[in-house]
Amino acid sequence: ESRPHLQLPEAMRAHSLTASTLIGDTKIPVPPLMFTKGQGEELIAISYLGGDLCGHVGIIHGGLLATMLDEGLARCCFAALPNRVGVTARLEVDYRRPCKSEEFVVLKARTEKVEGRKAWVRGRVEVLRMGKDGEVRVSPWEDRGEVLVEAEGLFVEPKWAKVRGIFGVET
């Protein structure tokens, strides 16, 4: 488990959409908690989405959900790429139902295929399930919860990625 956004140097974090701009008491109050499986195989991220992230009152903006999927799918496959960094080449997003604000969601991602510097990844955002006992239930990739949005993406490691530390952090 980790909170990757907190690992960015403060000077970089201040200029990051997902590590700074979207973080705040009424936005994303706590950076997402992420769990990974294998070397770029799967990722699960739990996030709380506040009321100031809406497109319509009470409904999270679709662009924010697309941003979450872009970040989550990319982070999922990074460890499977030769130099552990990539950029989005294609992202296709399908919205299934509205995402309510002021609720927890789970982003699940799975790397489907890796060929050299390219990785194909699928993912989705689901409502976080609570058990009858009040415990949080995060099901594995195979179990589909209440799906809000799904995505498929292609991520490519740039040729310059062999230069380590180009972003101020180890790649």
- First and final C-alpha spacing in the chain: 18
pLDDT of residue 5: 60
Enter the pTM of the model: 0.87
Element (H, E) at 115: strand 103-115
pLDDT of residue 117: 95
Contact partners, residue 53, CB within 8 Å, separation at least 6: 22, 27, 28, 60, 61, 64, 101
pLDDT digits (tens, 9 = 90+) for 19-71: 778 888 999 998 899 999 999 999 999 999 999 999 999 999 999 999 999 99
What is the distance between the alpha carbons of residues 128 and 48, in angstroms, rounded to a whole number?
10
- Main-chain phi, psi angles of 2, to 5 degrees: -160, 170
pLDDT digits (tens, 9 = 90+) for 59-89: 999 999 999 999 999 999 999 999 989 999 9
pLDDT of residue 119: 98
pLDDT digits (tens, 9 = 90+) for 96-154: 999 999 999 999 999 999 999 999 999 999 999 877 887 877 777 778 889 999 999 99
pLDDT of residue 106: 96
pLDDT of residue 170: 47
What is the distance between the alpha carbons of residues 73 and 88, in angstroms, rounded to a whole number?
9
pLDDT of residue 6: 60
pLDDT of residue 82: 93
